[in-house]
């Protein structure tokens, strides 16, 4: 995994994150372009047409941190990331590469 911002590894991780979040919130048929939705927007977080409240955001953050095996971000990081693609770039730079690869394989992610 590399943290090159828009590289294939970040795209793959963003797709895996999307698959995991869709499963977490039982959202069917989420478009791959949802990786660029404002999921961590402070004013109106949403994913796949579902508006997220603060508990949803907390649940998904804790779930991802547990599955990736590290504390990733604080609230300011999430707000600056804004999207799953932005979050993936942060994670690619902070997490163990083997853990990220395992996560992507577990969620059968392909680049968007």
Q: What is the pLDDT of residues 49-72, one digit of tens each?
A: 889 888 898 898 888 888 887 776
Average pLDDT score over residue span 82-110: 85
Average pLDDT score over residue span 86-107: 87
Residue 45 lies in domain: 8-106
70 neighbors 96 (Cβ within 8 angstroms): yes
30 neighbors 22 (Cβ within 8 angstroms): yes
Report if residue 3 sits inside a domain.
no
Report if residue 55 sits inside a domain.
yes
Global pTM? Answer: 0.82
Report if residue 111 sits inside a domain.
no
What is the predicted pLDDT for the residue at 110? 52
Task: Check pLDDT > 90 for residue 19.
Answer: yes
What is the predicted pLDDT for the residue at 24? 92
Report if residue 112 sits inside a domain.
no
Report if residue 90 sits inside a domain.
yes
Based on the structure, what is the number of domains in the chain? 1
CA atoms lying within 13 Å on the CB side of residue 50: 18
Task: Check pLDDT > 80 for residue 102.
Answer: yes
Tokens in use for 16?
Answer: 């895996």
Cα angle value 55/61/63 (rounded, 5°): 100
Report if residue 1 sits inside a domain.
no
């Amino acid at each position: 995994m590399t943290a090159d911002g828009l590289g294939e590894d970040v795209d793959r991780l963003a797709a895996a994150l999307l698959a995991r979040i869709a499963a977490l919130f039982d959202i069917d048929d989420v478009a791959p372009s949802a990786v660029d939705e404002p999921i961590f927007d402070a004013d109106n977080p949403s994913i796949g047409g579902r508006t997220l409240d603060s508990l949803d955001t907390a649940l998904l953050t804790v779930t991802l941190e547990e599955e990736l095996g590290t504390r990733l971000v604080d609230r300011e990081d999430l707000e600056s990331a804004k999207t799953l693609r932005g979050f993936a770039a942060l994670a690619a730079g902070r997490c163990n590469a083997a853990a990220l690869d395992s996560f992507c394989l577990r969620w059968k992610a392909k680049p968007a």
